[in-house]
Amino acid sequence: MSRHPQRQALAREFGATDIVEERGREAGKRIRELLGGVLADSVIEAVGTKESMEQAIASVRPGGRLGYVGVPAGGAQLPIQVLFERNITVAGGMAPARAYIPELLEDVLSGAIDPGRVFDLELPLSEVAEAYAAMDERRAIKVLLRP
């Protein structure tokens, strides 16, 4: 799900077959359309806002699974009653990034993966506020900060 053209292009390069730009009920309708009349079996919420969590919950089918990663922000909450009534399994939390470093570092150094593809703006560390503003305003996917 994205409304950001650069993110959409990168997602397609990484293998995305469909992009959903709609939000709210219209997004749910679009997902049902794409999936032949049903919602998604599994959904990952990776933004952390109240709206993105609501969107994720609205996108998962009854009996489905919802995973979340990232930092909850903007009042993101789990509506226990809705999850219970729809029998949605929820799991998530902080990613144990350090556990993956040995394997991923080897892949990065060998060139097997290129994590730099998500960085489309580079700024000095002193401009960290501008980096966050650029991402918030969709002028950048991710910003690489240099000392």
Q: Taking each helix axis from N to C terminus, what angle separates 24-34 and 50-59, rounded to the nearest 10 degrees? A: 30
Q: Which sequence spans correspond to the domains of the chain?
A: 5-93, 97-146
Which of 5, 2, 19 lies closest to 120, judged by CA? 5
Based on the number of CB atoms within 10 Å of its own CB, is 24 exposed (0-12), middle (13-18) or buried (19 or more)?
exposed
46 touches 72 (CB < 8 A)? no
The 10s digit of each residue's pLDDT in 34-75 is 999 999 999 999 888 888 888 899 999 999 999 998 777 777
Q: Give the closest residue to 20 by CA, choosing from 46, 11, 41, 139.
A: 11
**Please, what is the average pLDDT of the chain?**
91
| Owner of token pair 């900060």 | 145
Cα 126 to Cα 143: distance, rounded to the nearest angstrom: 13
- Tell me which fold the domain 5-93 belongs to: Rossmann fold (3.40.50)
pTM: predicted TM-score of the whole model, two decimal places = 0.77
pLDDT 10s digits, 81-115: 999 999 999 999 887 888 989 988 999 899 998 88
Residues 90, 88: Cα–Cα separation, whole Å? 6
